Structure 1
């Protein structure tokens, strides 16, 4: 049975003769304390050694080692691609800043509209909008940071990496079958899930639809995935990588409040819950449950009861097509 640091240290001090000063801060105490600490650490590592070896329970660098046996590596962070609108034409490659973040202009979209890549990888690049300041030598031009075109993502989490391992082990990929195309898509940083349609446009064709790490549609990610799949796929197949079609889920209801929250606070909380619920159904369900939406509303803090719940103007489940994903539309709650 493992001992704590305190137990190890006390056991060591008990072996020291009683005529020796062994109070905290004494020479013998200060000499034994580091040794007791490292012995406790070693016991902890030994106790958890088995869990750190197997992919089911490994974490961090230990999980990296476990999945490497299956040819997997953790996906790194990716940079956000944003839309920048300017008051006049600017050069590709100029750099603009907002809230200590820098964005480099990479491509012209339309007149005075550009794609810009955040110089810092991760979700932080998705956060800010508004007026930008030139970092490059630019004068007489204003710029505004707008929509997220491709969301920046943080380094792949342990849970996501483990899920990719399970997907690879449980869905054998061979000779360019559907499972393999899904695995290839998931290897690209920023891809949260993928769905494959073999023979989608006839013999020798494959369609792959993808969503980002937030289970949302990305404008630029399909092109990146397509370029990667072209480097690894078998010769012969014609591959199309695209985004799913968004199906808006609009919700209205009359709400009876319990007095603890305002209708505005309830609506904000409910919106967040709906976004999370819809994201969890992406590529895994072909209908959005009317009853579950009602349950989410009833579980929202501040709601005592509701009536007149309408989902897409109806009172039944909403069907989601095979190439669609549900996205939150207009959510309107009124107080009774």
Structure 2
């Protein structure tokens, strides 16, 4: 709005108010007296423009975006800790700590099959696989392996994600147990990355909520149970013991995966290798499939072709097939796509 209020424009306006009988050339007394004030006013216009942008959700950021979101009772989601399964040759005790790849994990549920919580919040806790090292000596321990992600760790919510939730709150108000309310309740549980709601799926007063975890993979049983207990606890279904209204029988389930295989012949860019193209294609396909999870029920053949053409290592491709065919791949309402075999030559 204030793009035209530059230092030069402000200074010229100020000099224009000075009588022409006074020397206004650069270096004159009046010029040198007005120039610093013009510079400060120009800077004030820059800050004023920033204040204006911070006042609107679409252009806001940081703590100012959080303040605007809080007006709609939307709180920025903070990083959460990953909960993983650990396998040991002896029963480990709650509170014992283990180390792998620069991260520490603490036992929160004892046993030979134990639950471990990463001490560092964020998605970083989802990554390590392999042998764990005990921080302190544990007599008799010979095997310690970290495995399945039970509840994914999540990073602090991005500005883009917070804006999207704000937009959803405005366009799809959550009230009186409507679909928007169930989506909100599912998203309130740490580790949930998305949800779909199916009203009356098994007759009157029934609701099914299908979820994926924060990595857009099928949710673990642990996460499903957490969402079930939060929305409509078992065995008190329908009694209003959770967030769902009295009379609503809610069933929470995980989404199922549909494997997406692709095959293509590539023309490589000069100096590039097939291994580089393979890595780029797998990452690009993963990114695309995540963007359509629970948002589209079609994996589009043309889109995958475009992804291959946009790879830095690829000039052209031919003989592209997706799941053995040359057309779109349909998904069920409860399915999410997962990268399968990527065969490139």
The verdict on a shared fold, with TM-score over 0.5 as the criterion, is yes
Q: Matched residues in 1 for 2:74 and 2:6: separation?
A: 34
Q: Does 1:214 align with 2:215?
A: yes
Cα distance in 1 between the residues matched to 2:71 and 2:91: 51
Q: Distance in 1 between matches of 2:322 and 2:302?
A: 10
CA distance in 1, matches of 2:42, 2:137: 57
Q: Deviations over 1:204-246 (max 9, x none)?
A: 1111112233322231332222233243221221112221110
- Alpha-carbon spacing, 1:265–1:229, altered in 2? closer, same or farther (3 Å): same
For residues 241-282 of structure 1, give each alpha carbon's deviation from its aligned partner in whole angstroms, at most 9, with x where no partner exists: 221110010112222323321111100000000001111111
Residue 124 of structure 2 aligns to a residue in which SS?
helix
Asked if 1:273 corresponds to 2:248, the answer is: no
Structure 2 length as normaliser, TM-score?
A: 0.81
Q: Which stretch has the larger CA shift, 73-82 or 220-229?
A: 220-229
Cα distance between partner residues in 2 of 1:235 and 1:226: 15
* 1:70-106 per-position Cα deviation (integer Å, ceiling 9, x unaligned): 1111111111122222233322332211233211223
Q: Which one of the candidate residues 255, 263, 267 is aligned to 2:266?
A: 255
Q: Deviations over 1:155-189 (max 9, x none)?
A: 11111111111111101222101111112222333
- 8 Å contact kept, 1:82–1:145: yes
Q: Is the 8 A contact 1:185 1:225 kept in 2?
A: yes
Please tell me whether the aligned partners of residues 153 and 190 of structure 1 are also in contact (alpha carbons under 8 angstroms).
yes
What does residue 60 of structure 1 align with?
62
Alpha-carbon separation, structure 1, partners of 2:231 and 2:265? 49
Residues paired across the two proteins, number? 308
**Alpha-carbon separation, structure 2, partners of 1:105 and 1:201:** 39
Deviation at 1:51, TM superposition (A): 1.4
Per-residue deviation at 1:37?
11
Q: How far apart are the structure 2 equivalents of 1:136 and 1:41?
A: 58
User: Secondary structure at 2:308's aligned position in 1?
Assistant: helix
**For 1:44 and 1:138, how far apart are their aligned partners in 2?**
62
Give, in whole Å, the separation in 2 of the partners of 1:225 and 1:37: 57
Aligned counterpart, 1:128? 128
In the alignment, structure 1 residue 196 sits paired with structure 2 residue 207: no
Tell whether 2:196 aligns with 1:185: no
Q: Show structure 2 runs of 5+ residues with no match.
A: 12-25, 30-35, 233-241
Q: After alignment, is 155-164 or 302-311 more displaced?
A: 302-311
Residues in 1 aligned to 2:75 and 2:40: alpha-carbon distance in whole angstroms: 31
Structure 1 counterpart of 2:299: 288
Counterpart of 2:125 in 1: which secondary structure?
helix
2:169 matches 1:158: no
> Match of 1:330, SS?
strand
Q: How far apart, in 1, do the equivalents of 2:118 and 2:201 lie?
A: 35
Per the normalisation by structure 1, the TM-score is 0.83
Runs of 4+ in 1 over 3 A off after TM superposition: 36-45
- Confirm or deny: 8 A CA contact 2:121 2:153 kept in the other structure: yes
Q: Structure 1 pair 115/38, CA: closer, same or farther in 2 (3 Å)?
A: farther
Structure-1 residue corresponding to 2:329 = 318
Q: Distance in 2 between matches of 1:76 and 1:258?
A: 42
- In the alignment, structure 1 segments of 5+ residues that lack a partner are 8-13, 18-31
Q: Hey, what does 2:101 align to over in structure 1?
A: 99
Q: CA deviation digits over 1:121-180, x for unaligned, max 9?
A: 111212322222212551331312233332211111111111111111101222101111
